Amino acid sequence: MLIPLQFNPVFKNKIWGGRALEKVLGKSLPENIAIGESWEISGLKDCESVSITQPYYGKKISEILSENKQDLLGIYTRYEEFPLLYKFIDAKQKLSVQVHPDDAWVCANELGFFGKNECWYIVDAKNDSKIICGLKKGITRKILEKAIISNKIEEVLNFVDVSPGDVIFIPARTIHAVLGGILFYELQQSSDITFRLYDWNRLDNNKVARKLHIEEALNILDTTFNNYYKIPPVIFEETSSYIHFFRIACRYFALEEYKFLKDSEINLPVKRSFRVITVLSNNVKLLFDNSSINLLKGSTTLIPACVTGLKAIASSGTHFLLSYVPDLLTEVVAPLSVKKIPRENIVLLGGNPATSDLGIF
């Protein structure tokens, strides 16, 4: 039977990166390099996670999945690849304005199975931090094209204020960017297809502008105005020991959050898929199946679906995130409804009420 799996993160040098992964999360980074991304768990073939947990030490996640598909994924055995990708991203400087395709476009172009719906948990941010989500109200594709030609694209973008603890939902086909001074955790479908629309007239270290993909981006982007990118948290349970939040839920992933108010041991809910725990402060001792594993600050751990009896022991001030592929009715809507959470609040966990996956329940 599988046990919780940990992996070496893969660090990515980026022109816009910095050293916040080291300063805020305590990660040991290569010296004198601007690190923009830490890929925590990845099934992408060109950047697969490799296990550091015995007896699977040295095995790629695809090998573990092929040998233990149902034990790892649970009921979601329709996937031939690990369906989610986990990263920390240090945007010391601005990221490019970009857009990602959806599942339909990826499949139609025979580039795999996964589009790129994603969410961000803001771990750290300077005062007055901003991101870009979509276009301003009333901006059409024609207006956007004129703004691009006249180098005035910044005038039509929708800027959103963010602070630590905010969760942002970026559906596929949404124009987006992160401005400087933000460290965030990204949970997304397993895809790395990105079309850059604008890169702030920036040059790389060789004084060369990075490639743009304006035509590709224009062909897939959604210009519909949306004012629901920032997801309001829903408190599921609050005791003298801890607070348990639901932070986002869609057909692709769900994210929950735990904050410890005093030294405690708590039971973690059973899910029908694998679970992933990322620790943002302090350390966590995870108990399972008459065994245990230590989860360090800044680490991300994959809990196979077959693992039972999961408990977390942590001290006051500990803070971690738990994610999974949800059965939206039984694992999100029903338990929140039992807690008398208003339906409109549940629907907003999926972003825009007009398109939220939770709106059908």
Instruction: Give the rounded distance of the alpha carbon of 351 from its chain centre.
Output: 15
Residues 266 and 172 grouped into a single domain: no
For residues 189 and 332, membership in a common domain is answered with: no
Average pLDDT over residues 285-299: 95
CATH of the domain at 151: 2.60.120.10
Does 82 share its domain with 215?
yes
Residue 98 inside a domain? The answer is yes
CA dihedral 234→236→239→244, nearest 10 degrees, is -80
Q: Average pLDDT in the 129-142 region?
A: 97
**Do 250 and 209 fall into the same domain?**
no
Report whether pLDDT(344) > 90. yes
Residues 241 and 195 in one domain: no
Q: Is residue 75 in a domain?
A: yes
Residue 295 pLDDT more than 90? yes
Residue 79 confidence class, pLDDT cut points 50, 70, 90: confident
Claim to verify: residue 33 and residue 104 sit in the same structural domain: yes
**Residues 215 and 324 grouped into a single domain:** no
pLDDT at 75 over 90: no
Say if 228 falls within a structural domain: no
32 occurs within a structural domain: yes
Q: Are the C-beta atoms of residues 41 and 61 closer than 8 Å to each other? A: yes
Assess whether 216 and 88 both reside in one domain: yes
On whether residue 161 sits in a domain, the answer given is: yes
Contact assessment for residue 351 and residue 229, using Cβ atoms and an 8 Å cutoff: yes
- Which of 220, 250, 276 is the endpoint of a domain? 220
Domain assignment present for 358: no
| Selection from 76, 63, 90, 75 nearest residue 5 by Cα | 63
| 257 lies in the same domain as 196 | no
Residue 107: count of CB within 10 angstroms of its CB: 14
Domain shared by 83 and 203, yes or no:
yes
Q: How many residues does the chain have?
A: 361
Does this model's pTM top 0.75? My answer is yes
* Same-domain check for residues 261 and 193: no
Report if residue 191 sits inside a domain: yes
pLDDT, residue 203, reads 84
- Overall number of domains in the chain: 2
Residue 5 confidence (pLDDT) above 90:
yes
Q: Which residue is associated with the tokens 């092929």?
A: 66
Same domain, 291 and 215: no
Instruction: Give the model's confidence band at 1: pLDDT under 50 very low, under 70 low, under 90 confident, else very high.
Output: confident
Q: Is 227 a member of any domain?
A: no
> Containing domain of residue 104, as a range?
5-220
The tens digit of pLDDT for each residue in 103-129 reads 999 999 999 889 999 999 999 999 999
- For the cut 90, the answer to whether the pLDDT of residue 135 exceeds it is yes
Question: Which residues belong to the active site?
Answer: 196
- Distance from the Cα of residue 98 to its chain's centroid: 16
Burial call 10-49: b when 16+ CB within 10 Å, e when fewer = bbbebbbbbbbbbebbebebeeeebbbbbbbbbbbeeebb
User: Which of 160, 191, 220 is the endpoint of a domain?
Assistant: 220
Q: Which of 188, 220, 252 lies at the terminal end of a domain, its last residue?
A: 220
